[in-house]
Structure formats: structure tokens, C-alpha cells
């Protein structure tokens, strides 16, 4: 079973997707990590921006999945930790606009998701275009969102807890800028699939989000068993 989770930055997707995958003893595919890895690789590569297509085709991307997350190797080097920086986030946002990058990553995401779901496993796939483009036939689709101020506060708290300097007003303006870019880009913009279930996390705790969503998944399984 494929469970698609989309939504803007800071809506709680990643932590929720990871927890759901653990509860279901399944796998968690963080597609944003793949865009981040390509963003970082492109920055460090010898190819100029005009040669993006060649660079993307030459890139060897290894994606290893388990319930805890997505480990990514680019040309053999493990980039899982370095792609969490705010610089990697900006690089990801710009490469995610390029169709050459999207088509390579989407086909890899489909291959990984199908392999595991055909083996009878739950795969929680999280991103921006999962329910609309990558897995339009996913058995369950969620679109998570929250008030931008609450999303900024969450990011700000996470950064402070990690010991990084953070300014709330700046985090809010970065989140708003990234939302705008993700929603307005030409290829696969961030948007709720018509059949996705909206989950507004503004007033929910992480546990409440997971309980609601696991409840929906359980109902879907029940219904398909009764059909």
C-alpha cells in the first residue's frame, strides 16, 4: 500500500510520515531529501547550470529506505546529514523547478515505491507532488497544512534545539517565499490532489496527527477487505 503525504514546509509531514511508517512497520520515502541531494550535487559539480540535464543523467543516486528514514548517497558519498542545512533547502528549491531533475527523480520514486508495495509492504511517500504526479493511484492521500506562523515557530524551535542561530521573523519570511515558489512553479507545483484528505495541523500535536491519519489508513484497509 502506498500512502502519499504532501504539503508545504513545516506542516509536520516528515515527522508524521516517519511515525506512521514505524507504526505500520513499513518504509518511509522522503522525496525532498532526493531534491536536496541533487541540489547539493549540482552546486559541487563541475557542470555549469546549462549542463544540468547531462549532470542529472550522469548522477548515481542510491536511496536506502527503512522506517526511520531515507539515506542518500550521491556518486557513492553519503550526503544524508549535509542535505539538512538551510543552504541545501534553497538549492533543492531551485533544482526542483527543472523538468530534467523532476523526471529522473519521479521515475526513481515510482520504482522504489512499487518494488516495496508489490512486496506487500506499506510505503509512506512524502513530498509536494506525490498524490498529484508520482502516485496518483495511491491508496491513501493526505495533504497536510498549517498556519504559516505556526510552521515558522516549529522550524525556529527545531533550529534552536539543534543549537543553531535562528530568527523567527526571518524563518517566517523564508517559509512564505518557499511556499510561493513551490506553489507557483511551472512543473508539478505544490497542490492538494482532489481526492486527498486535508489535515490542518495548526492546533494538533504530532501524536494527534499520527492517530488521525493511522485511523484513516485502518478504515481504508477495512473497506478494501469488505469489498
Residue 97 or 221: the one with the smaller Cβ distance to ligand DC is: 97
Rg of the chain on CA atoms, in Å: 17
User: Applying CB under 6 A, does 127 fall inside the site for ligand DC?
Assistant: yes
Of residues 28, 35, 122, 143, which one binds ligand DC by CB under 6 A?
35
Of residues 17, 129, 143, 145, which one binds ligand DC by CB under 6 A?
129
The site for ligand DC, by CB under 6 A, has a size of 14
- Closest separation in Å from C-beta 222 to ligand DC: 29
Q: Which stretch binds ligand DC (CB under 6 A): 55-63, 87-95, 111-119, 204-212?
A: 87-95
- Closest separation in Å from C-beta 42 to ligand DC: 13
User: Applying CB under 6 A, does 178 fall inside the site for ligand DC?
Assistant: yes
Of residues 12, 26, 32, 148, which one binds ligand DC by CB under 6 A?
32
- Closest separation in Å from C-beta 227 to ligand DC: 30
User: Applying CB under 6 A, does 89 fall inside the site for ligand DC?
Assistant: yes
- Closest separation in Å from C-beta 109 to ligand DC: 8
Residue 36 or 104: the one with the smaller Cβ distance to ligand DC is: 36
The DSSP string of the chain is -EEEEE--TTSSHHHHHHHHHHHTT-EEEEHHHHHHHHHHHHHHSSS-GGGHHHHHHH--EEEEEETTEEEEEETTEE-TTGGGSHHHHHHHHHHTT-HHHHHHHHHHHHHHHHHHHHTT--EEEEESSIIIII-TT-SEEEEEE--HHHHHHHHHHHHHHTT----HHHHHHHHHHHHHHHHH-SSS-----TTPEEEE-TT--HHHHHHHHHHHHHHHHHHHHH-
Residue 2 or 92: the one with the smaller Cβ distance to ligand DC is: 92
User: Applying CB under 6 A, does 31 fall inside the site for ligand DC?
Assistant: yes
Q: Give the 3-state DSSP-derived string for 109-168, with helices as H, strands as E and coil as C.
A: HHHHHHHHHHCCCCEEEEECCHHHHHCCCCCEEEEEECCHHHHHHHHHHHHHHCCCCCCH
Residue 30 or 55: the one with the smaller Cβ distance to ligand DC is: 30
Binding site for ligand DC (CB under 6 A): 9, 31-32, 35-36, 89, 92-93, 96, 127-129, 178, 182
Amino acid at each position: 500500500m502506498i500512502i502519499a503525504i504532501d504539503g508545504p514546509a513545516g506542516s509536520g509531514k516528515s515527522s508524521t510520515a516517519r511515525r506512521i511508517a514505524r507504526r505500520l512497520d513499513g518504509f518511509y520515502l522522503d522525496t525532498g531529501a532526493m531534491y536536496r541531494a541533487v541540489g547539493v550535487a549540482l552546486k559541487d559539480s563541475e557542470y555549469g547550470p546549462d549542463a544540468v540535464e547531462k549532470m542529472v543523467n550522469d548522477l548515481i543516486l542510491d536511496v536506502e529506505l527503512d522506517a526511520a528514514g531515507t539515506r542518500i548517497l550521491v556518486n557513492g558519498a553519503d550526503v544524508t546529514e549535509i542535505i539538512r542545512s538551510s543552504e541545501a533547502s534553497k538549492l533543492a528549491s531551485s533544482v526542483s523547478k527543472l523538468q530534467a531533475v523532476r523526471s529522473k527523480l519521479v521515475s526513481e520514486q515510482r520504482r522504489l515505491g512499487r518494488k516495496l508495495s508489490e512486496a506487500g509492504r506499506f510505503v509512506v511517500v512524502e513530498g509536494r507532488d506525490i498524490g498529484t504526479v508520482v502516485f496518483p493511484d495511491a491508496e491513501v492521500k493526505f495533504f497536510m497544512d498549517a498556519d504559516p506562523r505556526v510552521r515558522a515557530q516549529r522550524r525556529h524551535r527545531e533550529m534552536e534545539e539543534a543549537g543553531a542561530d535562528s530568527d523567527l521573523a526571518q524563518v517566517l519570511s523564508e517559509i512564505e517565499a518557499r511556499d510561493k515558489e513551490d506553489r507557483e512553479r511551472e512543473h508539478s507545483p505544490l497542490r492538494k490532489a482532489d481526492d486527498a484528505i486535508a489535515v490542518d495541523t495548526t492546533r494538533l500535536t504530532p501524536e494527534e496527527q499520527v492517530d488521525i491519519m493511522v485511523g484513516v489508513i485502518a478504515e481504508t484497509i477495512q473497506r478494501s477487505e469488505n469489498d
